[in-house]
Structure 1
Amino acid sequence: MRSGSRKAGVLASAGALAGLVLTGCGDGGGTGRAADDASPGGGVGAREEGTRTGGGAGAREEGTRKVRSAYDRTAEAETARMAVRVRMSAEGETVTADGRGVIDLTEGDSVLTVTAGGERMEQRVVDQVLYQKLPDQQAGQGKPWMKVDLRKAAGQQGTTGQPIGDPAQSAAFAKAITDQDVTRTGTATVDGVDTTRYRVTVDVAELPGGAALRRQVGDTLPMQIWLDEQGRIRRQQIDLTIKAPASAPAGRSEGSASPRQMKMSTLMEFSDFGTEVDVEAPPAGQVTDATGRAAQSG
């Protein structure tokens, strides 16, 4: 994989995940499994204090109730600071990307600074359109920003543009979680906050666009979630193996086609609920539309 192509792909893919959506936006790879106590950006991390405590049916039902309501409770805070670490691996290469910024928990809009491969990139998500200000040498047509309309790109691939892990999409996740899918695994301190940790399995078929999504990620979505005393999400980890859509080019050519399979681990943390968030799309004259290229690369 060419260095410039890899970096651009990694930044784009990491940016999409940092925006809490499941849509590949470049030809980069990267990951492995994030360590359970690896805090985004090398922060405080989680201090685990318990072991598996799944308990009986009553305990499972209580855990399920808390997990299912966590998305609503988190969204009620309206805004938060967010840190995200994405590890991606494909074809023997592993890359880590870190992002820090703020997010509107009701709309899903966000602004982040993403660092990967020694490069820094500004990223905004506005109404499910991803804007990325890439390093100067990667900007197109003399314009500093590129954009990917995530809904259009996903539609062209036959998948869904709905967010995966977005607290604003509480109804979809709540429906996809049952009593048999939630296990309380202990307690932990996340960035100085006491939390309870759960292991969750999400039925992909119950998510928006589930039929198409299953072809890319399988039947279930493995997730771990850390809830504070108010029932809000403080940390969430999702581990995926993503298969390229059937519409994506087969194999790999020099810097063009996408890998047929990519492993991805995404660790997100929320803090400072209620913080100020001001996100606007860049001026149209400074933006190059890369939606078609993103959809084609899968």
Structure 2
Amino acid sequence: MKRSLRTSRIAALGAGGVVSVALLTGCGDDGAGGTGSADASAAQGRSERSPAQVVQATNKKTTQARTARIKLATTVAAGGDSETVTGSGVLDLRDGTSRMRMGQGGRQLEQRIVNQVLYQKPPAGSGRLPDGKSWMKVDLRRLNASQGTGGPAMSDPASSFAYTKSLSEKDVRKVGKEDLNGVSTTHYRVDLDLSKLARGDSAQERELRTQLGDSVPVDLWIDEDGLTRRQQLSMTVKDTAQSGGSGTSARQAKAKVVMDFSDFGTDVDVAAPAPADTVDVTGKLSRHSGTNAQTG
């Protein structure tokens, strides 16, 4: 029976999920913005802060931890099928540098992100690479530029998706206290305002809604030190490749990305593969993206 979701495509979504979660967790510039009131109220004690202020403060606090171990679970459902990709590794919370292994069962791929370039090593015998090559290379900055807008899953972790700066009290609510992996946390629900994320750019807002759907709930579990211990992102993804690139017939896939953070301050030593071992597929992905945009 033909499956509507293929492992390779799920793995690709998982790769995007790693970057998306890194961006949403707290990788953002610490210049002037909405975090000022949260920082000022920190001295008054966490119990006196509003839910929005707590979420604003965790942006800076988690980034200051510099690095962490991560566990990822990406579940995608479409056409009655559902598949889950899991992964684990290490992540630099400041610039998105990471090393992970992810996949399903015995079929695992290795992934690295170095200087905003993504490298993936498919499972042995997959037949997806030319002879003599063991890694695929995707320049995320080039791909982002070719798409014409700052897509959140392919943007600069140092400056993009710092959504906490535009949060208002109505965007955040406290769910309650929960133990998570042996750590006492407080669960918060954030409803992202895509119009605020687009900063008045109507084209980018349309792109965000195409990539993420109209409703994008983000759940955060924040510990007593103000560090994010878990983040869960739910979104809608168009799987145009399964429908021949036609926007009108593209499948709607529901994706949920859950990322757990632990061992803050762990070593993150990640190097890019040797150039001779890589094949650059950025251009191919850019052309594919352009075709989808024209037919969508």
Q: TM-score, normalised by structure 1?
A: 0.75
1:215 maps to which residue? 210
Judged with a 3 Å threshold, the aligned counterparts in structure 2 of structure 1 residues 293 and 259 are, in CA distance, closer, same or farther, namely farther
2:26 maps to which residue? none
TM superposition shift of 1:123: 0.4
Judged with a 3 Å threshold, the aligned counterparts in structure 2 of structure 1 residues 224 and 206 are, in CA distance, closer, same or farther, namely same
Give the 5 Å matches for 1:54-203: 62-116=50-104, 118-138=106-126, 139-142=128-131, 143-163=133-153, 172-203=162-193
Q: Aligned partners of 1:250, 1:2: CA distance in 2, in Å?
A: 11
Judged with a 3 Å threshold, the aligned counterparts in structure 2 of structure 1 residues 259 and 131 are, in CA distance, closer, same or farther, namely farther
Assess if the C-alpha contact under 8 Å between 1:172 and 1:206 holds in 2: no
Deviations 1:154-195 (A, max 9, x none): 333344244599985587211342110111011111111100
Letter in 1 for 2:130: Q
Identity %: 39
Deviations 1:61-87 (A, max 9, x none): 611001012111100000000111000
Assess if the C-alpha contact under 8 Å between 1:88 and 1:262 holds in 2: yes
- Structure number with higher relative contact order (C-alpha < 8 Å, ≥ 6 residues apart): 1
Assess if the C-alpha contact under 8 Å between 2:216 and 2:233 holds in 1: yes
More displaced stretch, 142-151 vs 6-15: 6-15
Aligned to 1:204, which of 157, 175, 194?
194
TM superposition shift of 1:262: 1.8
Aligned to 1:228, which of 210, 218, 223?
223
1:19 maps to which residue? 19
Q: Aligned partners of 2:117, 2:82: CA distance in 1, in Å?
A: 27
Assess if the C-alpha contact under 8 Å between 2:116 and 2:156 holds in 1: no
Structure 1 gap segments, 5+ residues each = 23-58
1:34 maps to which residue? none
Q: Aligned partners of 1:170, 1:215: CA distance in 2, in Å?
A: 18
Judged with a 3 Å threshold, the aligned counterparts in structure 2 of structure 1 residues 273 and 61 are, in CA distance, closer, same or farther, namely closer
Structure having the higher helix fraction is 2
Q: TM-score, normalised by structure 2?
A: 0.76
Deviations 1:105-148 (A, max 9, x none): 11111000102254111100112221100012234112110022
Q: Is 1:291 aligned with 2:279? A: no
1:10 maps to which residue? 10
Deviations 1:226-274 (A, max 9, x none): 0011111000001101236xxx669238xxxx94422100000100000
Q: Aligned partners of 1:94, 1:276: CA distance in 2, in Å?
A: 34
Q: Aligned partners of 1:60, 1:183: CA distance in 2, in Å?
A: 15
Instruction: Give the secondary-structure state (helix, strand or coil) at the position aligned to 2:216.
Output: strand
Number of aligned pairs?
Answer: 254
Root-mean-square deviation (CA, aligned residues, Å) is 3.0
Letter in 2 for 1:251: S
Judged with a 3 Å threshold, the aligned counterparts in structure 2 of structure 1 residues 154 and 280 are, in CA distance, closer, same or farther, namely same
Letter in 1 for 2:222: L
Instruction: Give the secondary-structure state (helix, strand or coil) at the position aligned to 2:207.
Output: helix
Assess if the C-alpha contact under 8 Å between 2:71 and 2:88 holds in 1: yes
Q: Aligned partners of 1:239, 1:147: CA distance in 2, in Å?
A: 27
Q: Aligned partners of 1:145, 1:265: CA distance in 2, in Å?
A: 27
Structure 2 gap segments, 5+ residues each = 23-46, 199-203
Q: Aligned partners of 2:208, 2:150: CA distance in 1, in Å?
A: 7
Instruction: Give the secondary-structure state (helix, strand or coil) at the position aligned to 1:137.
Output: coil
Letter in 1 for 2:273: P
